Structure 1
Amino acid sequence: MYIDDPPYPNTPSKKVVVVGGKKDVDKVIRLARQNGATTRDYDGNEVFWIVFEDKPKRIWDFTERALRKSIAR
């Protein structure tokens, strides 16, 4: 897991968290917050910008709740 620039220039976040292998959702959230891979949506929810290694051209945007559900699978 590491921080990188988004694969597309118009991504709302300046950075993305690239996730692969064993996933620890708390580490993903902490890394995103520490490195600018989050934004806020219209309702004020924190949005995490994630790229999974197996789909490097796809940027996923998750609220914390959705991210926890997705990675817990």
Structure 2
Amino acid sequence: MTRDWPAVQLRIKEHPDFLQYFYECPEDVTWTECDLNDVSETRIPFDVLDTNEAETVFKNHINALQQEEKRLE
């Protein structure tokens, strides 16, 4: 199991279903400004995964999985 957040982000980006769930904003546009006018867009801006909050959620998930694994042993 990978615990390195940048490696996880890369694996997400390389996943065949990436474009189904994420989109990339142009380089000169932040994710908070990207596609705000398109209300039909349901995908997540990939840049959201660069936030500290996204990394924290990932680390909390890993910790919960480890705790569950220890409990099952």
Scaled by the length of structure 2, the TM-score of the pair is 0.30
Richer in strand (by share): 1
Richer in helix (by share): 2
Larger radius of gyration: 2
Scaled by the length of structure 1, the TM-score of the pair is 0.30
